[in-house]
Amino acid sequence: MSDAVLKMTSVVKRFDHHEVLRDVSLTLHRHEVVCLIGASGSGKSTLLRCANLLETINGGDIELFGQSLLDPRIDPDLVRRHMGTVFQSFNLFPHLSVLDNVALGPVRALKRPLNDVREEAMALLARIGLQDRAGEFPDRLSGGQQQRVAIVRSLAMRPSLLLLDEVTSALDPTLVGEVLDLLSDLAKSGTTMLIATHEMNFAREVAHQVVFLDQGVLVEQGSPEEIFDHPQHDATRAFLGRVR
């Protein structure tokens, strides 16, 4: 298909002699939401970190808009500006106000004028209902609010796709909902997302494709109905049986 945003082909990643990703192939199309599921240590996070070049892969290829990211002329900083990344532990900058957290990337990486960026950042914060907290420091916010700010921070870069790494795993159960609601909104408005998650109901609701990873192997891939209702592999059935 021509509208492939991110395409991973036979990706292999080793840490020392331990293979964390074995021959994983995955394509993310424009406006598509793909959920990665699998036990802790199955390689979900590593896959995301390979995608935005925080890790270098040992085999296979990764393409962004048809351009191989293994090309030596590639500037990883430019690649990452097209991919918003949200972490399990938020990683907001504690020394910057909420507004400055959101504005840092556009101002310092994209060199856009501060006033434009601030205006846009305020609009983004208004979207998550936190415009009144713009001047506060992140540690004054709840975990759910912090994670929503982190999501908005990556949106401020106007990325082509979002990579989300178990963004609700560090949250209080009561705060998970607000973050997932935001992600559902983003999915509805056509944001391209690759989401590693443990929230099966959420994956069933928003994903166009669900990918099941087991010990670094892509075991099964398909629509939510196919994976959740009619899993073809024993490993998938065993995993779904455990998380239900």
Partner 1 sequence: MSSENDADAPDTPPFLFAPWRRQILRGRNGLIASVSSSVAIVMAVIAILFWTPGGTTFRFYFLNPHFMWLALRGDPAHAVNSVLGGIVTNIWIFLLCEVLVLVFALLIAWVRISVSPLLFPFRILATVYTDIFRGIPFILVIYMVGFGLPFLGLGFLSTQSPAVYACIALTLTYSAYVAEVYRAGLHSVPHGQILAARSLGLTQYATMRRVILPQGVRTVIPPLLNDFISLQKDTALASLLGVIETVRAAQIGTDSYFNASALTMSALLFLVMTIPMTRFTDHLIEKDREKRLAGAQ
CA-CA distances (angstroms) from residue 184 to 3, 189, 236?
22, 9, 25
Helix 173-188 / helix 143-155 crossing angle, nearest 10 deg: 20
Give the total of residues touching partner 1 (CB under 8 A): 27
Mark the segment that binds partner 1 (CB under 8 A) among 8-16, 148-156, 182-190, 201-209. Answer: 148-156
The smaller minimum CB distance to partner 1, of residues 89 and 223, is found at 89
Return the SS3 of 50.
helix
Based on the shown chain and the rule CB under 8 A, indicate whether residue 153 belongs to the binding site for partner 1.
Answer: yes
- Name residues contacting partner 1, limited to 182-221 (CB under 8 A): none
The smaller minimum CB distance to partner 1, of residues 66 and 94, is found at 94
CB-side exposure of 35: number of CA atoms within 13 Å?
Answer: 27
Q: Which two tokens stand for residue 135?
A: 């001047």
Return the exposure string of 64-80: e unless at least 16 CB atoms fall within 10 Å of the residue's CB, then b.
beeeebeeeeeeeeebb
- Name residues contacting partner 1, limited to 66-125 (CB under 8 A): 76-78, 80-81, 83-85, 87, 89, 91-95, 104-105, 108-110
Shortest CB 19 distance to partner 1, Å: 23
CB-side exposure of 241: number of CA atoms within 13 Å?
Answer: 7
- Name residues contacting partner 1, limited to 22-61 (CB under 8 A): 52, 54
Please report the DSSP string for 151-194 in residue order. Answer: HHHHHTT--SEEEEESTTTTS-HHHHHHHHHHHHHHHHTT--EE
Shortest CB 106 distance to partner 1, Å: 9
Shortest CB 227 distance to partner 1, Å: 28
- Name residues contacting partner 1, limited to 155-184 (CB under 8 A): 157
User: Who contacts 111 (Cβ-Cβ below 8 Å, separation ≥6)?
Assistant: none
Beta bridge partner(s), residue 33: 193
Based on the shown chain and the rule CB under 8 A, indicate whether residue 239 belongs to the binding site for partner 1.
Answer: no
Based on the shown chain and the rule CB under 8 A, indicate whether residue 145 belongs to the binding site for partner 1.
Answer: no
Residues in contact with partner 1 by the rule CB under 8 A? 52, 54, 76-78, 80-81, 83-85, 87, 89, 91-95, 104-105, 108-110, 139, 150, 153-154, 157
